[in-house]
């Protein structure tokens, strides 16, 4: 990956969630506006970098679990910038024939699409420049039809994206529409920032920091997060912290309130 982000059509004056996330993960593909926005959030949520790392660790475990269970197709919406352990790398390491479609709306991700598209010879990958708020555009995209067989199970990855959907974006309807387009035996994988561990004062401080950051953000409670999985079959251990979802070998974990990220994996009946 280049050390300097390509500018092109990118509006560097406005922060973007993908580049902000890249900054928290220690990446180099971000701009001053992204770093300033990220630092504003960190003022109210000092462990946000830890949350980003634990979220990424969950993604890797979830993909590995599903690949071991026989899932060979993945639709990763809000994929973000390439980093170690991308979905196709994990899935194809287990099953080289795995097929992955990445979706993001940030031009800088498109600029690095070649890294995302470095598939195994047996599998396939594609990148769609699209927004989750336009599910019909995603589902009807010819590149999605080229890579994914929508008659076979697909893992829908919505990792750290739905908290950028405000109530005005009709988030539950968006997720339902995407899930309804997938065949039986598909899966929904989701993580979401939560307000569960915040006092009323801390929640107000976080909301103010997110508003100042210039990126719409909506913390949700466990109850609100669980609504996304209505009528789906949750895989044990069910809804909980990203740290506690099938953690594998024992390792010391930070306190859940230091991460404040919920996760869930569910089968679509």
Residue 187 domain flag: yes
Indicate which CATH number applies to the domain containing 56: 3.40.50.150
For residues 12 and 84, the model is more confident at: 12
Is the CB of residue 243 less than 8 Å from the CB of residue 54?
Answer: yes
How many angstroms separate the CA atoms of 45 and 42, rounded? 5
Is 10 a domain residue? Answer: no
Q: Is residue 220 part of a domain?
A: yes
Least confident of 35-49, 88-102, 197-211, 231-245: 35-49
CB 30 within 8 A of CB 20: yes
Domain contains 7: no
Phi and psi dihedrals of 31, rounded to 5? -120, 170
In-domain check, residue 11: no
User: Is 127 domain-assigned?
Assistant: yes
Predicted local confidence at residue 5, as pLDDT: 43
CA-to-CA distance for 61 and 189, rounded, in angstroms?
11
The tally of domains found in the chain comes to 1
Question: What is the domain extent for residue 238?
Answer: 17-267
6 found inside a domain: no
Q: Considering only CA atoms, which of 268, 252, 265 is closest in space to residue 54?
A: 252
* The predicted structure's pLDDT at residue 4: 40
Q: What is the pLDDT of residues 146-203, one digit of tens each?
A: 999 999 999 999 999 999 999 999 999 999 999 999 999 999 999 999 989 888 888 8
- Least confident window among 48-57, 93-102, 202-211, 231-240: 202-211
**Residue range 53-72, pLDDT digits in tens:** 889 999 999 999 999 999 99
Residue 12 lies in a domain: no
Q: Write down the pLDDT at residue 17.
A: 73
């Amino acid at each position: 990956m280049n050390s300097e982000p390509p500018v092109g059509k990118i509006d560097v004056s406005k922060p973007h969630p993908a580049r902000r996330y890249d900054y928290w993960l220690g990446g180099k593909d971000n701009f001053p506006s992204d770093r300033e926005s990220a630092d504003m959030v960190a003022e109210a949520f000092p462990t946000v970098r830890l949350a980003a790392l634990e979220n990424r660790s969950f993604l890797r475990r979830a993909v590995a679990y599903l690949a071991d269970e026989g899932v060979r197709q993945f639709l990763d919406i809000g994929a973000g910038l390439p980093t170690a352990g991308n979905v196709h790398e994990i899935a194809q390491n287990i099953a080289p024939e795995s097929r992955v479609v990445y979706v993001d709306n940030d031009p800088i991700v498109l600029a690095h699409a070649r890294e995302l598209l470095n598939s195994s010879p047996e599998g396939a990958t594609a990148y769609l420049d699209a927004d989750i708020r336009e599910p019909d555009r995603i589902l009807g995209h010819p590149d999605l039809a080229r890579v994914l067989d929508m008659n076979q199970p697909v893992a829908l990855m919505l990792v750290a994206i739905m908290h950028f959907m405000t109530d005005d974006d009709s988030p539950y309807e968006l997720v339902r529409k995407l899930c309804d387009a997938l065949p039986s035996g598909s899966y929904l994988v989701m993580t979401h920032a939560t307000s569960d561990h915040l006092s009323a004062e801390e929640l107000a401080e976080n909301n103010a920091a997110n508003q100042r950051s210039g990126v719409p953000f909506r913390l949700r409670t466990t109850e609100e997060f669980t609504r996304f999985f209505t009528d789906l079959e949750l895989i044990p251990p069910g809804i909980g912290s990203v740290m506690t979802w099938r953690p594998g070998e024992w390792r010391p974990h930070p306190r859940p309130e230091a991460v404040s990220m919920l996760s869930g994996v569910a089968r679509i009946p």
